[in-house]
Amino acid sequence: EVEVDELQRLLAGMEKEHRALLLKMKEGEAELARLRGLEGDKLAERDRSAQLEKEVAMLREKIHHLDDMLKSQQRKVRQMIEQLQNSKTVIQGKDAVIQELKERLHPLQNLEMHDRIEHLIEKQVSRGGPSSRVRSKSEYVSRYGGGRVPQLSGPKPLPLIRVVET
């Protein structure tokens, strides 16, 4: 974007110079026409006329060169804008893939949490004596609302479940 701004600034400068050269060329042509219209064979007028013709030719060449440069810079700006748009499209595509992967990961995280809870329940059952109360799987499911494990909104640590044996 900085390069695009710089190129646009340069383009504006070239256009300004282009207008100034056109104005100068028109002034030179007007003076040349005035000198041609005057009668007389004065050497100074002929020299001035020849000088003005050279200047006009040189200005035309500069204008042609500036036109070429202007077109080239405009092409570069268009290409940079296209590249920027293409990059934005690629980034948006990658963002969409990342979002899709996050959405696909979420159920897997819920399954992992559910598996951990089952594992802890199995440990409690295998360790538990007659005085310890073990929660069944259905108690955990009903506790979390119909089998849904609370949603994680980022890389939070899993809750610590303590079993107190009495």
Residue 73 and residue 77: Cα distance in Å, rounded? 6
pLDDT in tens, 102-142: 888 888 788 888 888 888 888 888 876 544 454 444 444 44
pLDDT in tens, 53-78: 999 999 999 999 999 999 999 999 99
Residue 85 and residue 89: Cα distance in Å, rounded? 6
pTM: 0.42
Q: Are the C-beta atoms of 35 and 45 separated by less than 8 Å?
A: yes
Q: What is the mean pLDDT of residues 96-107?
A: 89
pLDDT in tens, 14-23: 999 999 999 9
pLDDT at 147: 45
Q: Are the C-beta atoms of 139 and 120 separated by less than 8 Å?
A: no
